A and B are shown apart, each in its own frame.
Chain A
Amino acid sequence: MADDAFTIAGEELGSRLILGTGGAPSLAVMEAAIRASGTDMCTVSMRRVDTTTPGSMLDMLARCGVRVLPNTAGCRTSHEAVLTAELAREALETNWVKLEVIADEQTLLPDPVELLDAAERLVAEGFTVLPYTNDDPVLARRLQQIGCAAVMPLGAPIGTGLGIRNAHNIELIVAEAEVPVVLDAGIGTASDAALAMELGCDAVLLASAVTRAQDPALMAAAMAAGVTAGRFAARAGRIPRRHHARASSPVHGTAVF
Chain B
Amino acid sequence: MTLTVNGKAMQVPAGTTLHQLMIMMSVSAAGRGSAAAVDGVVAPRSRWESLELRAGQHVEILTATQGG
Residues of A near any B CB (own CB < 8 A): 20-24, 30, 43-51, 53, 56-58, 68, 70-71, 73, 83-84, 86-88, 90-93, 158, 185, 207-208
For A20, give the chain B residue with the smallest CB separation.
B68
Q: Report yes or no: B65 in contact with A44, Cβ–Cβ below 8 A.
A: yes
B64 — which chain A residues lie within 8 A by C-beta? 44-46, 57-58, 68, 70, 88, 91-92
Q: Report yes or no: B60 in contact with A48, Cβ–Cβ below 8 A.
A: yes
Residues of B near any A CB (own CB < 8 A): 6-7, 25-27, 32-37, 40, 42, 44-45, 60-68
A87 — which chain B residues lie within 8 A by C-beta? 35-37, 42, 60, 62
Among B26, B32, B37, chain A packs the most CB atoms within 10 A around the CB of B32
Of the A-B pairs whose beta carbons lie under 8 Å apart in the complex, a sample of 7, sorted by A's number, is A45-B68, A47-B67, A49-B25, A58-B32, A88-B62, A90-B42, A91-B63
Among B25, B33, B45, B67, chain A packs the most CB atoms within 10 A around the CB of B67
- Nearest CB in chain B: distance from A151 CB, A: 17
B32 — which chain A residues lie within 8 A by C-beta? 58, 91-93
In the complex, what distance in Å separates the CA atom of A43 from the CA atom of B67? 6
- Nearest CB in chain A: distance from B60 CB, A: 7
Which of B6, B62, B66, B68 contacts A91, CB < 8 Å? Answer: B62
A57 — which chain B residues lie within 8 A by C-beta? 33, 64-66
In the complex, what distance in Å separates the CA atom of A88 from the CA atom of B60? 13
Q: Report yes or no: A83 in contact with B40, Cβ–Cβ below 8 A.
A: yes
In the complex, what distance in Å separates the CA atom of A119 from the CA atom of B25? 32
B66 — which chain A residues lie within 8 A by C-beta? 21-24, 30, 44-45, 57
A207 — which chain B residues lie within 8 A by C-beta? 67-68
- Nearest CB in chain B: distance from A28 CB, A: 13
For A24, give the chain B residue with the smallest CB separation.
B66
